[in-house]
Amino acid sequence: MKDKTYFMKKAIAAAKRAAACDEVPVGAVIVKDGEIIATACNRKERDNCAVSHAEIVAIRKACKKLGNWYLEGCEMYVTLEPCPMCAGALINSRLDKLYFGAYDPKAGCCGSLYDLVRDGRFNHTLDAEGGIMREECAALLSNYFRLKRAEKKESEKNRKGE
Amino acid sequence: MKDKTYFMKKAIAAAKRAAACDEVPVGAVIVKDGEIIATACNRKERDNCAVSHAEIVAIRKACKKLGNWYLEGCEMYVTLEPCPMCAGALINSRLDKLYFGAYDPKAGCCGSLYDLVRDGRFNHTLDAEGGIMREECAALLSNYFRLKRAEKKESEKNRKGE
């Protein structure tokens, strides 16, 4: 059955592909009428561009697929709570609903630092549900950063030993 | 002399190119070491994508030009106060400073509805100065929307007369 867990697992799979490319592992899918119309992961390092977050790449793919900037009837599943840029992109693209995994207390703008997507002063609002497969989504990030720290320590040790 | 007015005039010229393509006229330039490294205008309708605001397109161009997502030492001039998405993109790209023309009381996030770029809880902040050539920048938008309303009225009149 294609439930919230089904779609979040697809977003997690996308995030793992980012990690394999040495990118901070965040993945997203966009769903319309129960079908995935776009899958993306963070591409910031590969694109050399801080705009290339998973959500932005997914929105661009979905717009291309539908031939429309108006993503009415679409839902996004993303492994991490969107930052201000991505929360704003969700508003601008008029998505119906956001499901996210881990909360981001440092930059999250869908409940943590701000709740931009539910601010009725903008010309669109959308509902957000956080905490879908929260542990798995958070573990993706903590494992990635632990590995990065270990790699850095190892490389420093090797440099000192030279 | 290349002062704030010089660069804002370049952003206004870009906005006029958007209007000529039937796009909401917003233009932006990114400046590094006193030289323009990226110029862009709103491309939402042409790209069929709500992510294609002038600021995002300019950031992508600047990143491509510098081969780096880190836009340290760069300043943006944009004709309209950035929305949440674009304010977030400025933070994520680590720009040094933002200059904007017209204030946007409906969606502006650099002083109007929020002041995201100066929120010290994010991992980067930047200073924003609004009101540069404010009247000219605001007139671009009001003229564009006046024309659109007149066109719509005319087309409705013609339809009724058929």
Subunit contact A48:B56, Cβ cutoff 8 A: no
Predicted local distance difference test score (pLDDT) of residue A66: 97
| Binary contact (B84, A84; C-beta < 8 A) | yes
Q: Does A43 touch chain B (CB under 8 A)?
A: no
Catalytically annotated residue among A23, A45, A55, A151: A55
**pLDDT higher than threshold 80 for residue A1:** no
d(CA A35, CA A21): 26
The reply to whether A9 touches chain B by the CB within 8 Å rule is: no
Is the pLDDT at A134 greater than 70? The verdict is yes
**Min Cα–Cα distance to chain A from B162, Å:** 30
Looking at residue B162, its pLDDT comes to: 65
- Average the pLDDT over A10-30 and give the result: 97
Indicate the burial class of A108 (C-beta count within 10 angstroms; 0-12, 13-18, 19 or more): buried
ipTM: 0.95
Say whether pLDDT at B50 is over 90: yes
Averaged pLDDT for residues A80-106: 98
- What pLDDT score does B159 carry? 86
pLDDT at A114: 98
Q: Does B106 touch chain A (CB under 8 A)?
A: yes
pLDDT tens, B104-119?
Answer: 999 999 999 999 999 9
Calculate mean pLDDT across residues B2-23.
Answer: 97
B63 and A48: CB-CB below 8 Å?
Answer: yes
Test B89 with A86 for CB contact under 8 angstroms: no
Which candidate in B51, B53, B112 is best for mutational testing of the A interface (most A CBs within 10 A)? Answer: B51
Query: In chain A, what residues touch B121 (CB-CB under 8 Å)?
Result: 106, 113
